[in-house]
Amino acid sequence: MSSQNADVVLVHGAWADGSGWAKVIAPLAAEGFSVTAAPLPLTSFADDVAALERALERKTGPVVLVGHAYAGAVIAAVRSEKVKALVYVAALAPDEGETVADVFYRGEPHPQAPKLEPDSHGLIYLPPDAFPTAFAQNAKADALAVLAASQRPISPASITVPVGRPLWKDRPAWYLIAEEDRMIRVDNQRYMATRMKAEQRSIPADHMPMVTSPAAIVDIIRDAAAAI
């Protein structure tokens, strides 16, 4: 049983998996939170939302739902009444009728952002050289090796579907802005966070703050949990 007032569900984005949350999971668990790193198949937006709904079914208490990058769209598409607060970590937040691609490609990309295109199987992988230059440029070599080795591709079907009414219109939201993000530009993050009317925090972090600045994520989750 959790000794805290909320369960925490962490949702990874594209080119990642649940292991990326390790430095966030450990301190939250030590504080008595029930923590789940929910897996997404990254095969289509509908598949990803359904997978997250299944993970939420397994929770018994109120949930703080945390999404990184692409998962920001997924956490806003679930309809579970257990979700009481949303936390966005350098995450994408399309509004009703928009696609993930619409907000991802908003504005000029960072000069070091990778060029992305599907492979012969129709899946989008992150180029290996993008991990140290754009995905997690502040990470140490051992962390970069794990990130590159465990990357999971995303299907275009996950990012080209217009979303419905996002849950952030009906739940309180927090947004952790990564000021040194080269995948989702900081001005784009501020635009989405402001549009959401989220409580904003900014930190000097790259696109993977759960690896390079985990304490800031723990803090914002703790505050979201306290608020519910």
67-111 pLDDT tens trace: 999 999 999 999 999 999 999 999 999 999 999 999 999 989 999
Fold adopted by 7-227: Rossmann fold (3.40.50)
Structure confidence at residue 4 (pLDDT): 86
According to DSSP, residue 115 is labeled P
Lowest-confidence segment of 53-57, 71-75, 108-112, 122-126 by average pLDDT: 108-112
- Check whether 160 has a pLDDT greater than 70: yes
pTM: 0.97
* The Cα angle at residue 226 between residues 36 and 20, in degrees rounded to 5: 30
Q: Where are the domains of the chain?
A: 7-227
Confidence of residue 152 (pLDDT cuts 50, 70, 90): very high
- How far is CA 199 from each of CA 56, 75, 135, 195, rounded to the nearest angstrom? 24, 17, 25, 11
What is the spatial distance between Cα 153 and Cα 162, in angstroms, rounded to a whole number?
Answer: 20
What is the spatial distance between Cα 102 and Cα 84, in angstroms, rounded to a whole number?
Answer: 27
